[in-house]
Structure 1
Amino acid sequence: NDKQKECEDCHVLQESLLSSASGYSNYRGILNWCVVMLVLSNARLFLENIIKYGILVDPIQVVSLFLKDPYSWPSACLIIASNVFILAALYTERRLAVGTISKMTGLILHIFNLTSLLIFPSATVLTLTSMTPVGGVLSLGVYTVLFLKLYSYQDTNRWCREIRQAKAKKLTRSYSCPSVAQSNGSAVHTYVSYPGNLTHRDMYYFVFAPTLCYQLNFPRSPRIRKRFLIRRLFEMVRGNWMVPTIQNSMKPFQVPNHLIWLIFFYWFFHSSMNFVAELLQFGDREFYKDWWNSETVTYFWANWNIPVHKWCLRHFYKPMLKKGINKFLAQTAVFLMSAFFHEYLVSVPLKMFRLWAFMGMMAQVPLAWFVGRFLNGNYGNAAVWISLIIGQPVAVLMYVHDYYVIHYGGTT
């Protein structure tokens, strides 16, 4: 028997583990090695950064981006004023729920409120000389998010009213479902039915929640994880270590814009939104998908910003399809709306209208058709990356050039 075991074959037909044909995919040890090497190699750079540059977040420099006069806070006041539009949407829905105003009157009030939500801040930014471009972008960004949220709010509540009317029976309220007259609702995790959702607490939870689509009962996480919060907070403030590298790369005028965009994506969609979601125990954390693997332009725009994609799909794209509009026209309309808001968020704070952002977004329509028709696989993914690396910096440079010519061209 021992002789027989010694004569047994010890070789079989098989591939090396690192060969693609092996099917092996567990590289956790190599990933850990990369993390260890990254930490060790950057520890010295981190210490040199602190010694040479110190703490790079200069409070005075940061405040100067938002304020021209330390005694004038136009951006903060404008954001606080947005509560008027929030409460207007809530009280309109309350009146619709109890039937004190007609459906048409409620529709007119919502249209007026949503239109004012875009016109009022833009008019304020354009007329106030004390408003800085950064403060204007922040204010208009908040109002744009509120516009999308309140549109979803009235849309969802309208669907609830239609369902209730279709059932043709009164809503039976449970102990956990407060009445419309109550102002603050009950426990956070209780199940809410319409119109028990029309409370201040429900409205402001939705306003601060990292989503644009309203629903009566959001998925909730069971508890707040403190370690998770600390990690996300650390990621949010870690960006100041990257400032010297980015500034140095801008001196020979390389193209740091794309790198800044990637850093912003991680900071906002992963760190910041997860931080807010954890604080509010908001359960749906799918803020992005694998857009970096996009083989088509359409896939990229559908997966890099999931909150906006969900809103467009739920409140804009699908309603158009239900009305008989074909998919291409519906997709074009989505890009058209996105182009408007991109231009709105850039031209108004800069107080100059060049339409570079608008044209850049509309150029995505033929680009999406071309990439989807003639390229696929790695070629399609490369085309998407090229459009991101070249397209966005070109648009930014156009605005920087025009802004410099308008404000500083006469002094040189």
Structure 2
Amino acid sequence: MGDKHENGSATRRRRTTISGGASAKRANGSTPASGAEERCLRNGCGAANGGAKAREAEAPARKEKSGDAADERLSCHSLQESLLSSASGYSNYRGILNWCVVMLVLSNARLFLENLIKYGILVDPIQVISLFLKDPYSWPAPCLVIASNAFIMAALYTERRLSVGTISEATGTFLYFINLSVILCFPAATVLTVTSMTSVGGVFALGVYTIVFLKLYSYMDVNRWCREIRKAKARTLSRSHSCPSVSRANGAAAHALVTYPGNLTHRDMYYFMFAPTLCYELNFPRSSRIRKRFLLRRLFEMLFFTQLLVGLIQQWMVPTIQNSMKPFQDMDFSRMVERLLKLAVPNHFIWLVFFYWFFHSSMNFVAELMQFGDREFYRDWWNSETVTYFWANWNIPVHKWCLRHFYKPMLQRGVNKWVAQTAVFLVSAFFHEYLVSIPLKMFRLWAFMGMMAQIPLAWFVGRFLRGNYGNAAMWMSLIIGQPIAVLMYVHDYYVLHSSQAQGGERGVEL
């Protein structure tokens, strides 16, 4: 019995030693304790009891998971909309957009090959020069553009006289009226009378004079506002008697601010004349530097898209227009509609290329070269759901001019909003007809009526169409409306000149 008691005591001592050693090791960090032992030491319970409680806690979770799996086997449907439904909220149509692009490329590639097989290669870059010059020794369009400097200087020196009070406001307004009237009438009369002036050269010259007209009108208005502010401050005995100017530099450009009448210089005038805007300011927003890489990209785009436009017009559009003359002469309506739809594709594609070439590549190139900071030349007109939204966002320089110098002044004079909007469309229609009829030397008013037709179209789309339907109506008016005007002018031009040629032949025979 004594031996057994000693053996039991020795066993208990060994167990105590081992337990103490293990505790010492855990305290020193050499041997980590198991999770069950830590829970037992912390909660004061045995390892067996802790394991049982853990298994009891995990049992409902296992039952819940098994229940979910059973529910999934029983039910596989939920309340949801189809992806192509507007109520689904789904908006990732990238694959469909890529499909549309692929189909567009393939369909136009077929038309391109068909055109090559039927007509051969019609692209002739040398022929483009003849569109501007009939006689290599006579350059009427460039001479007209150079002559526009006389009207620019007349406006500058009129403003200088007004700034010092040499002439009255009434006299200055009269001089501006004469100057602006001659700007519109002089080039028109030259285009109509000079036989060496081509139609394309006439469009170019009249386009430059139209831009000069709009710029000088803005120049007149802004300087008049500055004089009014100066007089108002003089009456209130303010410390500052100059027209306020705000610096809105784009970047860290360090350009000195200009105040009235310090802006009446040749440098300021010609910066405005070449800047890609129609609205004058004393201090334009300026960029900090000229980005050469950006400039070269825009220059490359300009050269590439110029060649593309020439090729598309000569190879695709001209043959289609020529083949459309006979159905128009015979009044074959089914063939006329077919020709119209066939012309719609190249015409619209050329219009889109021209938009990118002019409003993005060319205007950004000029703006970067002149460090002009405001690059908002267009907005998202392609998302237009109304006709008015399109006309307000596809050509921002013209829209800003109309809003600042025509629409808002009319509202300030108490004119009705609808009447003011109609007047804006009327002015736009006049300039569209001015730029088309005079170079073609015939007056058919198709461009004028096309612009005025936008008023009832805008009312109809805004009243009855919304969302995607309004956007589709806008695209339809662009794709179909422009070819109709083109065909009408080409048909009338063809009929007019063919009748004149036949009359000349009869005269020779007589």
TM-score by length of 1: 0.84
Identity value in percent: 74
Q: 2:282 is paired with a residue of what secondary structure?
A: coil
CA–CA distance in structure 2, aligned partners of residues 367 and 28 of structure 1: 32
Q: Structure 1 residues 402 and 188 mapped into 2: Cα distance closer, same or farther (>3 Å)? A: farther
In structure 2, the residue matched to 1:380 is: 470
Indicate whether 1:286 and 2:376 are aligned: yes
Q: Structure 1 residues 219 and 55 mapped into 2: Cα distance closer, same or farther (>3 Å)? A: farther
- Report the CA distance between 1:64 and its aligned residue: 1.2
- Structure 1 residue runs of 4 or more that deviate by more than 3 Å after TM superposition: 1-5, 7-11, 13-16, 18-35, 53-57, 169-173, 241-246, 248-253, 409-412
Instruction: List runs of 5+ in structure 2 lacking aligned partners.
Output: 1-53, 73-77, 106-119, 246-252, 321-338, 503-510
Q: Structure 1 residues 79 and 189 mapped into 2: Cα distance closer, same or farther (>3 Å)? A: same
In structure 2, the residue matched to 1:353 is: 443
Instruction: List runs of 5+ in structure 1 lacking aligned partners.
Output: 40-52, 177-186
Contact map agreement 2:317 2:347 (CA 8 A) in 1: no
Contact map agreement 1:258 1:389 (CA 8 A) in 2: yes
- Report the CA distance between 1:285 and its aligned residue: 0.5
CA–CA distance in structure 1, aligned partners of residues 300 and 254 of structure 2: 28
In structure 1, the residue matched to 2:393 is: 303
Q: How does 1:4-403 map to 2 (within 5 A)?
A: 58=125, 60-168=126-234, 189-239=255-305, 240-241=307-308, 243-244=310-311, 247-248=315-316, 251-252=319-320, 254-255=342-343, 256-403=346-493
CA–CA distance in structure 2, aligned partners of residues 348 and 249 of structure 1: 22
CA–CA distance in structure 1, aligned partners of residues 498 and 297 of structure 2: 42
- Report the CA distance between 1:251 and its aligned residue: 3.6
Residues 95-134 of structure 1: CA distance to partner in whole angstroms, max 9, x if unpaired?
Answer: 1001111111111111111111101110111110110001
Question: Quick one: which amino acid aligns to residue 111 of structure 1?
Answer: F
- Report the CA distance between 1:260 and its aligned residue: 1.2
Question: Quick one: which amino acid aligns to residue 207 of structure 1?
Answer: M
**RMSD between superposed Cα atoms in Å:** 3.5
Q: 1:122 is paired with a residue of what secondary structure?
A: helix
- Report the CA distance between 1:94 and its aligned residue: 0.5
CA–CA distance in structure 2, aligned partners of residues 33 and 380 of structure 1: 23
Q: 1:82 is paired with a residue of what secondary structure?
A: helix
Residues 378-399 of structure 1: CA distance to partner in whole angstroms, max 9, x if unpaired?
Answer: 1111111111111111011111
CA–CA distance in structure 2, aligned partners of residues 86 and 345 of structure 1: 21
Q: More helix by proportion, 1 or 2?
A: 2
Residues 242-288 of structure 1: CA distance to partner in whole angstroms, max 9, x if unpaired?
Answer: 65555246545521212111111111011111110010110100111
CA–CA distance in structure 2, aligned partners of residues 279 and 28 of structure 1: 36
Q: 1:271 is paired with a residue of what secondary structure?
A: helix
Q: Structure 1 residues 125 and 251 mapped into 2: Cα distance closer, same or farther (>3 Å)? A: closer
TM-score by length of 2: 0.68
Contact map agreement 1:219 1:282 (CA 8 A) in 2: yes
- Report the CA distance between 1:189 and its aligned residue: 1.5
Residues 354-399 of structure 1: CA distance to partner in whole angstroms, max 9, x if unpaired?
Answer: 1111111111111111111111111111111111111111011111
Q: Give the total of aligned pairs.
A: 389
Q: Structure 1 residues 221 and 241 mapped into 2: Cα distance closer, same or farther (>3 Å)? A: same
Please say which structure displays the higher CA radius of gyration. Answer: 2
In structure 2, the residue matched to 1:179 is: none
Q: Structure 1 residues 304 and 32 mapped into 2: Cα distance closer, same or farther (>3 Å)? A: same
Q: Structure 1 residues 193 and 377 mapped into 2: Cα distance closer, same or farther (>3 Å)? A: same
Contact map agreement 2:381 2:393 (CA 8 A) in 1: yes
